[in-house]
Amino acid sequence: MAQDPADAPAAPPVTEQPPVAPKSPIAPPNPRRSWAGRLLVVATARMYPTPGGKPLRLVQPIAPLGAGAVWLQVRGVKVVGGVRWVKVLLPVRPNGSTGWIRASDMVFRPIDLRIDVDLSDRTLKLFRKGKRIRTFRVAVGTSENPTPTGRFAIAEVIPTGDPKAFLGPIVMPITGFSEALNDYAGGNGRVAIHGTSQPELIGQRVSHGCIRVRNADIRRLNRLVRGGTPVIIRR
């Protein structure tokens, strides 16, 4: 059974440099919508939305796998002492980790899409503004190495440059990690949605936690999905 080396770049990296100045609102104007924030600088994610909040980790503006821009899903907005902060979902262990970053360190865009993966049905459904627009069959993790459940987000979108590659033409690492494996294929257990060189296994529990889709389907997703898109994985 082949492994899912989703944590290792599968092609020459996409060298997208972050802008030096904001080109969009410096905070989500309507926090009730879904938003993604693009990091402009190296920022400190803090436990609380204050300059003295406990630092959790430094977050880089360049994504670690594909070297593209970092887009983080926004989970909340607060103004403290006249400074606006955003709570973001961090692509770190444990799954679901969040932290507060100054809104001025980011630019934002609204997200109208949502990915919903049903592990029992082995389906990936794409929703726009709550309406289902696509359904794809997928392969998921085995019982020994299950795909993690919960609320995540697309962390990066990486073209492999090779439609015949094991991971297919596109890899979309999410913010989630395997809860059974700390590493595989030289990576740290990062889970991804990606294409496959073994389409005959679609619909089965065969991966090390990644979500495999047919190559034609990952291309369709790639035309719509961007970093920060919510991903909900259910049993």
- Residue 145 is part of a domain; what is its CATH number? 2.40.440.10
127 and 215 share a domain?
yes
Q: Using only the alpha carbons of the chain, give its radius of gyration.
A: 17
Is residue 23 in a domain? no
CATH number at residue 98: 2.30.30
Q: How many domains does the chain have?
A: 2
Evaluate whether 122 touches 139 at the Cβ level (below 8 Å). yes
pLDDT of residue 13: 37
125 and 148 share a domain?
yes
Domain with 201, as residue range(s), is: 113-234
Is residue 25 in a domain? no
48 and 85 share a domain?
yes
Is residue 149 in a domain? yes
Lowest pLDDT segment from 17-21, 40-44, 160-164: 17-21
CA distance readout (Å), 189 to 90, 186, 210: 15, 9, 9
CA 126-130-134 angle, 5° bins: 25
**Mean pLDDT score, 99-127:** 96
Evaluate whether 4 touches 210 at the Cβ level (below 8 Å). yes
pLDDT of residue 102: 96
149 and 101 share a domain?
no
Q: How far is CA 176 from the centre of its chain?
A: 8
pTM of the predicted protein model:
0.86
Evaluate whether 159 touches 168 at the Cβ level (below 8 Å). no
- The residue behind tokens 């020994």 is 144
Domain C-terminal end among 110, 133, 158: 110
